[in-house]
Amino acid sequence: MKITFLDWSCFGRENCISAFKQLGHDVTLFFHPEYDLRKSAAFDAAFDVQLGNHPCDVVFSFNFYPLVAEGCKRNNVKYISIVYDSPHVSLYSYTIIYPCNYVFLFDKTQYTELHQMGIPTVYYLPLPGNADQIDHLLSLPYDRKRYSSDISFVGSLYNEDHNLFDRLNGLSDYAKGYLNGIMEAQLKVYGYYFIEEVLKKDIIREMEISMPYHAGNTGIQTPEYIYGTYFIGRKLAEMDRIRTLTSVASKHPLRLYTLNRDFSAPGIENMGSVDYDHEMPYVFHHSKINLNITLKSIKSGIPLRAIDIMSAGGFLLTNFQADFLDYYVPDEDFVYYTDLNDLNEKIAYYLSHEEERRQIAQSGRKKVREFHSFEQRFREIFAIVFPN
């Protein structure tokens, strides 16, 4: 089979291309700088030339892009996408309903919502991982001291300058109080995201006046979705992650690997960022406990970070996400916490129970290798897309 791969700077690029080749498929790379716009005549022309010069059976991308869907519809080619970002507003583009699309979502709740809206082109599958990559990395020279810790967290704190919520100016005291109240309530709830349901129309109107969002006539995304996920959801991520990390660090020192080198707090050693492919697996492998703090806007899905941790043979301690229970066993493949007290108690326990920790990490990695490899996931996908 001939596959055209949208070659943007996505996570999992090398693993994906390697899996395609392992399965016996031919891969052609295609890139255009305007791939993620809603409209682009330049992209359309380049895409049509690409498929004219290199005919293929399917186009693939990580995340879903309306321009690619338009191009595949024009050229009568199937379009497979695996979405790992959340929120991902492109899922609400009118192009999602094109019959050429096969959009695989890792969040079962989001899949259910879209499917119940009458969108037949979405499917639910957990994200794949590469459980063999760490073996290769461990055979190379590296700075083990930099990547080793008792407790680590790898990820953004969402406290950079482009935080949209902090740029909402001129809100009334009532709106500020209401938003603070629902955010504090959401922070106490794990496994269910209710912000969009409780955003009142008058509050949204104030947010729209302060910072308008213009999607144009391109999709079905609601103001509740946009302001509830891109504005409030990311602010919640900042609050949740900083509170969680500072709570843990008040009892146990931890290492933070993040882009923002300016952040500091007692007990937290800010190590800066690590490269996704060539450094991050070392951190997961050499940390006694790897924390995963899922974005609240990921309603039930297993986030990519959790898969990455287990793939590298790391011990995963995560907030609760319902989809874990579909494929992994708590306290056998991973451990979850229900609140900050539970988190700190489990950290203390597992730091002092090395053998249990090691067995859980090995079991998680084994399950990724046996049931959730890139090759296995694409076999499942191709069976859906090409049933005959």
Across residues 345-355, what is the average pLDDT?
Answer: 99
User: How would residue 204 be classed by pLDDT, with cut points 50, 70 and 90?
Assistant: very high
166 and 120, same structural domain? Answer: no
The mean pLDDT of the chain is: 97
Question: DSSP label at 98?
Answer: -
25 and 144, same structural domain? Answer: no
58 and 102, same structural domain? Answer: yes
295 and 146, same structural domain? Answer: yes
The angle subtended at Cα 359 by Cα 356 and Cα 364, nearest 5°, is 125
Nearest to 350 by CA among 288, 286, 282, 267: 288
**379 within 8 A of 22, measured Cβ to Cβ:** no
The Cα–Cα gap between 316 and 176 comes to 36
On the question of pLDDT at 161 being above 70, the answer is no
What percent of the chain is modeled with pLDDT above 70?
Answer: 99
pLDDT single digits (tens) 39-96: 999 999 999 999 999 999 999 999 999 999 999 999 999 999 999 999 999 999 999 9
Nearest to 2 by CA among 24, 18, 30: 24
- The string of DSSP codes covering 275-332 is -TTTTHHHHHHHEEEEEE---TTS-S---HHHHHHHHTTPPEEEE--TTHHHH--BTT
Lowest mean pLDDT among 128-132, 137-141, 159-163, 383-387: 159-163
173 and 245, same structural domain? Answer: yes
Nearest to 30 by CA among 12, 56, 11, 63: 56
User: Where is 242: in which H helix or E strand?
Assistant: helix 232-249
Would you state the pLDDT for residue 146? 98
Question: DSSP label at 36?
Answer: T
188 and 217, same structural domain? Answer: yes
* Overall pTM surpassing 0.85 (yes/no): yes
44 and 7, same structural domain? Answer: yes
Would you state the pLDDT for residue 36? 97
What percent of the chain is modeled with pLDDT above 90?
Answer: 95
Would you state the pLDDT for residue 32? 98
Would you state the pLDDT for residue 217? 75
On the question of pLDDT at 293 being above 90, the answer is yes
Sequence-distant (6+) residues with CB within 8 A of 275 are none
**128 within 8 A of 377, measured Cβ to Cβ:** yes
**288 within 8 A of 315, measured Cβ to Cβ:** yes
Q: How far is CA 318 from CA 97, 100, 351, in A?
A: 34, 36, 15
199 and 290, same structural domain? Answer: yes
User: How would residue 388 be classed by pLDDT, with cut points 50, 70 and 90?
Assistant: confident
CATH of the domain at 32: 3.40.50.2000
169 and 254, same structural domain? Answer: yes
The Cα–Cα gap between 124 and 244 comes to 30
Which tokens hold the place of 386? Answer: 């090409």
- The total number of structural domains in the chain stands at 2
Torsions phi, psi for 26 (to 5 deg): -90, 135
Would you state the pLDDT for residue 57? 98
User: Where is 221: in which H helix or E strand?
Assistant: none
Would you state the pLDDT for residue 301? 97
Would you state the pLDDT for residue 343? 98
186 and 117, same structural domain? Answer: no
* Domain assignment of residue 215, given as a range: 133-371
User: How would residue 190 be classed by pLDDT, with cut points 50, 70 and 90?
Assistant: confident
214 and 112, same structural domain? Answer: no
Across residues 158-166, what is the average pLDDT?
Answer: 83
The angle subtended at Cα 192 by Cα 189 and Cα 195, nearest 5°, is 85
pLDDT single digits (tens) 208-241: 999 998 776 789 899 999 999 999 999 999 999 9
User: How would residue 163 be classed by pLDDT, with cut points 50, 70 and 90?
Assistant: confident
381 and 360, same structural domain? Answer: no
User: How would residue 162 be classed by pLDDT, with cut points 50, 70 and 90?
Assistant: low
**42 within 8 A of 69, measured Cβ to Cβ:** no
